[in-house]
Amino acid sequence: METPSLQTTNPVSAKEVSRPALRTVFRILAAWGLSNKEQIRLLGNPPKSTFYRWKQVESVVLSQDTLERLSYIFGIYSALQLLLPGPDAADAWIKKPNTAPLFGGRSALARMLSGQVADLYVVRQYLDAQRGGWAGCPRSPRRTFPSPVKRDRGRGIETFVAPRALQSSAFGGNASHAVNANRA
C-alpha cells in the first residue's frame, strides 16, 4: 500500500518565479521610495548591468540568495500592510527612526541596508512577532503581544492600535485608526 504524500504542490523552479518576483519587488521598492543605490543594496549588490536588466524584467533566473532576499522583502511589506492603518503609513515606516532595541533609534531601512540577508530576516521576524506570528521577537523570544484591535461591540467600533514598537516617533506616538465593525 502506498503512503499518501503530504506535499500538495510541486516545487516551483527559480525560472518560473523570477519574472513575477522581480515585477513585484520593484513595485514594493518604488512604494517605499528607495533610490537605485538602496535597491541594489537590498537586492544583494548585483552588478549595475544586472540590476538594470532586472528592472527591465527580462528573462532571468534569479539565484536562491536573491529569491530569499525577495521573500523577506515580500514578508516585510505584507506585515507592514497588516500592522499599520494605511498604505502610506506602512510604506513610510521603514524610513522612520524606531526606538525598539533591535533598531537602536535607527530606521528599519538602515538595518536592512547593511547588505546582509540576515538583517532582512531579523526585520521580517520582528514584524511577524509584532503581528502575533510564530517567529518570536528577537532578544525576547517568550514575549507575547496583545491583539492590535480593541473592540467595543456595543457601539460597533473597532480601533486598530499599532503595537508599541510601531508607535515610535515616526507616527507621533499615535497610530490608531477606528473602523466600523459591521463593515463587510
Please tell me whether residue 16 adopts helix, strand or coil conformation: helix
Q: What is the pLDDT of residues 90-149, one digit of tens each?
A: 999 999 999 999 999 999 999 999 989 999 999 999 999 988 865 544 444 443 444 444
- In this prediction, residue 146 carries a pLDDT of 44
Domain boundaries, the chain: 15-138+145-180
**Which pTM does this prediction carry?**
0.68
Mean pLDDT of the chain: 76
**Pairwise CA distance, residues 30 & 24, whole Å:** 10
**Pairwise CA distance, residues 113 & 163, whole Å:** 24
**Pairwise CA distance, residues 85 & 178, whole Å:** 9
* Percentage with pLDDT > 70 across the chain: 66
Phi, psi of 126 (to 5 degrees): -60, -50
- In this prediction, residue 1 carries a pLDDT of 54
Q: What is the DSSP string of 25-74?
A: HHHHHHHTT--HHHHHHHTT---HHHHHHHHTT-S----HHHHHHHHHHH
